[in-house]
Structure 1
């Protein structure tokens, strides 16, 4: 669900890269509704099973923060990011 994904993003240091297809769909919906700013780009496959797309979430917009405030307190999510060289993070 895109709004739950938005709540997860609130607790993740941004920018963050997203590669899971379901999460990329969530990013797509949140960008289309103006709740986040992100770039969605194709990946160059390194093997036959590589993911076809990647998204980089830059920030949550003011509208996104307002939507989070409307939802109130939801349970905290487990931290799901990993740090890579040069400060990149990948959500899993």
Structure 2
């Protein structure tokens, strides 16, 4: 969930390095949509290991901050998102 990752970014000191594959993918989505500025680097592959990527998130853009503000209350956002994702009604 790139938007939940974006919300997590507002609580860490930037710049921050991201090495988890899934989170690097979130970073690429957020960069593509203009919500953050980041550098994504591919590390060189060795003979036995495939290349991996790391990202350095530099800042959250004004559009990113506006998106966070639109989402409002995190617990309510997560609850609603999960309801739609699973087709469940949460109380």
TM-score by length of 1: 0.74
**Residues 41-84 of structure 1, C-alpha deviation per residue, up to 9 Å, x if partnerless?**
11135795686110000000000000000000214xxxxxxxxx
User: What are the ranges of 5 or more consecutive residues in structure 2 without an aligned counterpart?
Assistant: 76-91
2:6 matches 1:2:
no
Q: Indicate if the aligned counterparts of 1:19 and 1:51 stay in contact, CA closer than 8 A.
A: no
Structure number with the higher helix fraction is 2
Post-superposition, which runs of at least 4 consecutive aligned residues in structure 1 deviate over 3 A? 44-51
Higher RCO (C-alpha 8 Å, min separation 6): 1
Deviates more, 1:65-74 or 1:47-56: 47-56
Structure number with the higher strand fraction is 1
User: What are the ranges of 5 or more consecutive residues in structure 1 without an aligned counterpart?
Assistant: 76-92
Aligned-residue CA RMSD (Å) = 1.8
Query: Using the alignment, how far apart are the partners of 1:60 and 1:74 within structure 2?
Result: 17
Aligned to 1:11: 11
**Residues 17-37 of structure 1, C-alpha deviation per residue, up to 9 Å, x if partnerless?**
000000000000000000000
Aligned to 1:64: 64
Which has the greater radius of gyration?
A: 2
Q: Indicate if the aligned counterparts of 1:14 and 1:59 stay in contact, CA closer than 8 A.
A: yes
